[in-house]
Each structure stands twice: as structure tokens, then as C-alpha cells.
A = this chain, B = another copy of it.
Amino acid sequence: MYSHLSNLRIVEGGSFIAAPICGLYLSQLGAKVIRFDQIGGGPDFGRWPKNERGHSLYWEGLNKGKKSIALDLRKPEGRELAVRLATAPGRGNGIFLTNYPVNGFLSHDNLVRRRPDQITVRVMGWADGGTALDYTINAAVGVPQMTGQPDDPRPVNHVLPAWDLLTGSLAALSLLAAERRRTETGAGEEVRVPLSDVAISTLGNLGQIAEVVTGGADRPRVGNDLFGAFGRDFETADGKRVMLVAITSRQWSGLLTALGIANDIAAIEADRSVSFANDEGIRYEHRDAINPIVERVVSGLSLVELGSALDNEGACWAPYRTLRQAVSEDPALVADNPLFSEIVHPSGSRYPTPGYAATIIGAARGDVEPAPSLGAHTEEVLTDVLGCSAREIAFLHDRGIVASAHTERGR
């Protein structure tokens, strides 16, 4: 992890993807992130994928480098500890990241009573507090209806939880903006980041709401074609599939040269009285003529021949791979990528594990830290953040209000 945010401590009470990945990004930038969970694990503690011993690879991927404290949140005393953690005194404290309900015991109003300059960043489903997940929001805003082959009317859910990921990163951005303002003005605030608003505003930012409002009709499903430019999947002579794209003029000219199709394309341009060179939209309008020419040439070349021709001309392309192939066959992605370190996780499994996605030139990346075992830092957090004595901690253990990693393992 980098050290940029090392004077911030963020308390995270959240589960699944959006809130935890927000905490992960901040942790990878150096913030101390303390995640509290129900004793025995929150609702995401067993989420698939799991390894052969039944440990969640998902949980340990999303909680790397955090500290873990296990509380009984069903007991008033456990809830009181969560509130005290979220609102701990000190300059870098008083920052709470959560997906708990707006009006529960972790409401911003409750926290502000303890700490007037409290910052609360709350990930939500629907903006009105209604239950939603990435998959239901995606259905509600129309993306599955745009996705997939036009010869198959079924909606296609995305497998990448894009709205969760974007919500998590915007929550982190919002958190830093709020903390910056608190440093300047002394004032805290609550920021709410609903999946529903992230999704619908994104479609607005991409011009798609304008498109349906001004045009009236939904964009027809176009399969694997890239809307508004040249781009599609094609199959090579050896049965591999590649994604070819040409949005810029340079990508287009590179593609024509690499495939040796400049004359065929010029003939279409002459025939149809158009020019493809500087307007990618016209390439899209005439894809019925362009695609078959590309298809013919690609189908006559092996993947290696095609790739070498495309790379020589700086064309924009990639082979389709499975994730396993991507990990094992392209060293640039994982094996030789300085983002990744092979470390052992609480699951007992050892595998390549990424640090922060961006690279800060000249700054030390630091080690990639594994996720904690559940409750691994219960004593440490109670001592360091809340100033509890050994006797108080023993009392909390005896009453079952907290649990340590040792206790958790014995469950």
C-alpha cells in the first residue's frame, strides 16, 4: 500500500462490494481502515467464490490490509462500541463508511451527537433507502436489454458488478472531498451514494438519457459491435476470437494497413460516396459493408499472424481469453505486473494479489497486505482507538460482546 493517507483512520461497517471496496481503495492509499463485523461474520462472510476449505476468496479479496474487530451488534453494548469506534476523537478519526440503514443506530444524527464534525459516507441501494443490489439496479436502468446478441431477445445480466465498483470508488472520492473540506472548515457531513443514482447518472453522463429523450426510441441491441464506430469480434483461421476496434483516425488507418484492405475499403467509400477516415460514426453506419471484408481477411490468418500485423501498425485489438488464460498466458497482466504479489491469505490459499490499481511514480508501493482473520485486531482496536484497559477487554469478552480471531477460529 502507498502511504498517502496514513494520517486517516476510517471505520467501516459494511458488507458485500461497494462499501468494502471503498475501504479497500482507501487502505491501498495508506489509510488505516478498521472493519467491524458481527461475531461469526457479516452477511458477506461466506460469499462465493470460496476455496476448497470453504473460505470466501471474495471476502478476503475485498478486505485486504484492513483491521478486523468482531462485535455482537445484536447487543446494546456491541452497538455502543460500534458508535464509539465510528466517532473516535482525534484529527484523522471520525470518518465512518457504511451501508447500514439511514435511520438505524448508525444514523449520521446519532454519530454527530458524539462528534459534531463527523463524516459519514453511506452506500445505499435505492436513493430512498429501498433494497437494491447491482443486479436489480442494472435491470431497472435498462443495461441488460442493450446487452447481447440481437438474434436472442433475452436480457443479459452483466457478471461484472460495475455499479457496485463505481459506487465504491465514488464513495472513496466523496470521502476524500468531505475530509478535505473538514480540514478547511472544521465541518463534517453525511454523503449518501446510492447505486440507483450512480447508475442513472452514469447513463446520463454518457449521453444515453439524452439519446432516448431526444430520439424517443431505445438504441437497438447491436451484439458485439461497438456502438458508433468500427469494432467487433472476429474469428481467426485457427479458431481464436479477437476484438478489433478503430475509433480514432490512426486506429483506422493502422487497421487498414495491417489487414491490407485499404483498396477494398476505398471501393466501398467510392461506391457509397462516403469517407471513413475521419468520422468513426460513418464506419458504424456502413458496418454491413466493412465487417465482411475484415471478416474475410481475419479468417485467413492465424492469431499469431494477425496479432503481429496489427501490432506492427499500432492497431487497437485484443484476443478474447478466459480469465484463467489471461492470468496464465499474459505475463503483463499478473505474473510480471508490479501491482501483484503472491501472498498467503487467511483462507490458507496462496495466490497473486493486487495492490492499488494506479501507480504513483516514485512512491514506494509497500507490501500487499492480506485480509485479516475475523476479529484479528479486536484487542488492538479496543486498546488503541477506544483506550480500553485489559480488564475492560476481558469483561467484554466474558459478556460475549466482542470476539477475537482466536475465539472465532474455535467456533
Q: Are B200 and A354 in contact (CB under 8 A)?
A: yes
State the copy count for this chain. 2
* Nearest residue, chain B, Cβ from A60: B207
> Using Cβ atoms and an 8 Å threshold, which residues of chain B touch A169?
166, 169-170, 173
Minimum distance in angstroms from A47 CB to a CB of chain B:
6
Tell me if A126 is interfacial: C-beta within 8 Å of chain B: yes
Q: Can you report 9 A-B residue pairs in the complex whose CB atoms are below 8 A from each other?
A: A4-B181, A127-B337, A140-B321, A155-B241, A171-B358, A204-B353, A209-B327, A210-B349, A210-B353
A29: Cβ under 8 A from any B Cβ = yes
Asked whether, in the complex, the Cβ of A360 is within 8 Å of the Cβ of B178, the reply is yes
Which B residues touch A62, using CB under 8 A? 205-207
- What DSSP secondary structure best describes chain A's contact surface? mixed
Interface of chain A residues 112 through 156 with chain B (CB within 8 A) = 125-128, 131-133, 135-149, 152, 154-156
Shortest CB distance A208–B (Å): 6
For chain A residues 214-268, which have a beta carbon within 8 Å of chain B? 214-219, 223-224, 226-229, 231, 233, 241-243, 245, 247-249, 251
Given B4, B194, B198, B361, which contacts A180 in the complex, CB threshold below 8 Å? B4
Given A205-B62, A210-B61: A279 and B46 within 8 A (CB)? Answer: yes
Residues of chain B within 8 A of A314, CB atoms compared: 131
**Nearest chain B CB to A265's CB is how many angstroms away?**
19
A174 located at the interface, meaning its Cβ lies under 8 Å from any Cβ of chain B in the complex: yes
A351 to chain B, nearest CB (A): 4
| A270 beta carbon closer than 8 Å to chain B | no
Of all A-B residue pairs in the complex, the 5 with the closest CB atoms, nearest first, are: A48-B228, A57-B207, A142-B323, A201-B354, A162-B162
Besides the known contacts A131-B314, A173-B176, A189-B362, 18 further A-B residue pairs in the complex with CB atoms under 8 A apart: A5-B180, A29-B173, A29-B177, A46-B280, A61-B204, A133-B245, A139-B318, A139-B319, A147-B158, A148-B156, A154-B224, A157-B243, A162-B165, A162-B166, A174-B358, A200-B326, A200-B333, A209-B327
